[in-house]
Amino acid sequence: MNYSCTTYELACNKCGKRYGNQPLSACPDCLAPLEVVYDLLSARGVFTRDSIARGPASIWRYARLLPVPEGFQSDLPVGFTPLIRTNRLGARLGASNLYVKNDAVCFPTLSSKDRVVAIALANAQKFGFDTVGCSSTGNLANAVAAQAARLGLKACILVPTDVEPAKILNTLVYGARLIRIDGNYDHVSRLSGLIAEEYTWGFVNVNLRPYYAEGSKTIGYEIAEQLGWRLPDNVVVPMAGGSLIGKIRKGFNELIFLGLVKKPARPVRFFGAQATGCSPISVAVKEGRDAIVPQQPNTIARSLAIGNPSDGPAAARMILADGGWAEDVSDVEIVSGIQELAETEGIFTETAGGVTTAVTARLYADGRIAQDQTTVICITGNGLKTTDALAGRFDHLDARAIRPSLADFDAYLRTLDGTAEPKLVAAEER
């Protein structure tokens, strides 16, 4: 499939100067971040509900509003993940219109990062890079490694020392070069900035960042389309560097501008979710300011552990401007959140999703979200990647095997139900 995109180019989000299209993330004049701007008017009447519905079941159905080069083609079915109306989770939280946007099953590497990487690599190819890279707290590493492999690009990936083993393996298996940096994400990020300058590589979240970031808009487009072309009242979004939350909003606003959804009477409210052990953005929101005080991350939610989030000030501003809020939860609550989503909706999310679920529970409990409002929570990663967060939780349940007899089964069931004393034979004693 061949996509034609609306004209786009980089612009400084402070002075407005235009930079065409090139691997560049900050305005050389004022050092402010660059953003992709579009000729949105030209998409009017062309980018319609019908034209979108005729597209593939992936982010490429929205290619016209994504920065993909002229003539770009992809058959990779990234995104278009399920939006599920919760049943039992909603009941437990006292919510009657609660939905889960489930990027735990995003193709190909089971996190929202597949979306941003697809857009970044489309541009990396156009710019002629033969090596791509990133600094990552884990999921981005997986996404870059997998998609680079399919495109035949070399990948060089930098991660902090404490990234989960499954995320390391999920990077190496694709043949990527992975380099662990003795430090936290902020050290890794600074180093990757220097590397991208020194080597002529396409770093998806450094010199390709403006393109990369746009990929997150697709979550906003999908939520609106999957709700039957209307916007929710509230969205709960996990925050690391603070980029995703703002891009979902940008996606909504573009749909309003193009008349694809009705402008809601009240702006959609955004709720940011962080772990208390790394909560620079939620702290700022709670104090009603946009200045970020950097933190030393200390949480099991490693994918969100960015102590000095570059898009933090913007995230705090937009949350406050629209009447939203931010919350943060402890590691114990994160694990409970993972279990709660799994037990009620059959969705196994990683620690970041535990954060989002637990924060959502708090928001309902505190009355910040009303019961009947349409609320979408963004589950951004898969639980199979952070099983270490649940280490030991189920040991008492799977430690033993029983003999293959109905009598032993009956007896065992009664011990599980607490109606009999355990009389088990450990497999190794047989």
Identify which range of 17-25, 52-60, 240-248, 258-266 contacts ligand PLP by CB under 6 A. 240-248
Question: Which residue reads 């790394």 in tokens?
Answer: 278
Q: Which CB sits closer to Zn ion, 15 or 416?
A: 15
Identify which range of 42-50, 238-246, 386-394, 401-409 contacts ligand PLP by CB under 6 A. 238-246
Q: Which CB sits closer to Zn ion, 10 or 121?
A: 10
Would you count residue 244 as binding ligand PLP (CB under 6 A)? yes
Q: Which of 339, 354, 345 is nearest to 87 (CA)?
A: 345
Q: Which of 381, 389, 402, 411 binds ligand PLP (CB under 6 A)?
A: 381
Would you count residue 241 as binding ligand PLP (CB under 6 A)? yes
Question: Which residue reads 């939520």 in tokens?
Answer: 223
Judged on CB neighbours under 10 Å (0-12, 13-18, 19+), 350 is: buried
Joined together, the tokens standing for residue 12 give 């400084």
Joined together, the tokens standing for residue 163 give 């990234």
How many residues does this entry show for the chain?
A: 430
Identify which range of 48-56, 105-113, 290-298, 402-410 contacts ligand PLP by CB under 6 A. 105-113
List binders of ligand PLP among 142-201 (CB under 6 A).
none
Identify which range of 11-19, 169-177, 180-188, 233-241 contacts ligand PLP by CB under 6 A. 233-241
Joined together, the tokens standing for residue 151 give 């495109």
Residues 6+ apart with CB under 8 A from 181: 158, 159, 160, 161, 187, 188, 191
Rounded to whole angstroms, the Cα distance separating 195 from 207 reads 10
Would you count residue 238 as binding ligand PLP (CB under 6 A)? yes
C-alpha distance from residue 234 to each of 38, 105, 367 (Å) = 26, 22, 13
Would you count residue 202 as binding ligand PLP (CB under 6 A)? no
DSSP annotation of 287: T
239 binds, among ligand PLP, Zn ion, none (CB under 5 to 8 A by kind): ligand PLP
Question: Which residue reads 């409970």 in tokens?
Answer: 336
Would you count residue 338 as binding ligand PLP (CB under 6 A)? no
List binders of ligand PLP among 31-70 (CB under 6 A).
none
Q: Which CB sits closer to ligand PLP, 258 or 350?
A: 350
352 binds, among Zn ion, ligand PLP, none (CB under 5 to 8 A by kind): ligand PLP
12 binds, among ligand PLP, Zn ion, none (CB under 5 to 8 A by kind): Zn ion
Beta strands in 83-224 (DSSP E): 83-85, 98-102, 131-135, 154-160, 177-181, 202-203
Q: Which of 240, 283, 300, 369 binds ligand PLP (CB under 6 A)?
A: 240
Asked whether the beta carbons of 22 and 69 are under 8 A apart, the reply is no
240 binds, among ligand PLP, Zn ion, none (CB under 5 to 8 A by kind): ligand PLP
State the minimum distance, in angstroms, from the CB of residue 79 to ligand PLP: 14
Q: Which CB sits closer to Zn ion, 9 or 322?
A: 9
C-alpha distance from residue 365 to each of 186, 237, 360, 361 (Å) = 34, 17, 9, 6
Residues engaged in binding Zn ion (CB under 5 A): 12, 14-15, 27, 29-30
Q: Which of 429, 328, 339, 341 is nearest to 387 (CA)?
A: 339
Question: Which residue reads 């995230």 in tokens?
Answer: 315
Q: Which of 133, 210, 232, 242 binds ligand PLP (CB under 6 A)?
A: 242
Q: How many residues line the site for ligand PLP (CB under 6 A)?
A: 16
Residue 108: asked if its preceding bond is cis (omega within 30°), the reply is: yes
27 binds, among ligand PLP, Zn ion, none (CB under 5 to 8 A by kind): Zn ion
**Binding footprint of ligand PLP on the chain (CB under 6 A):** 111-113, 139, 238-244, 303, 350, 352, 380-381
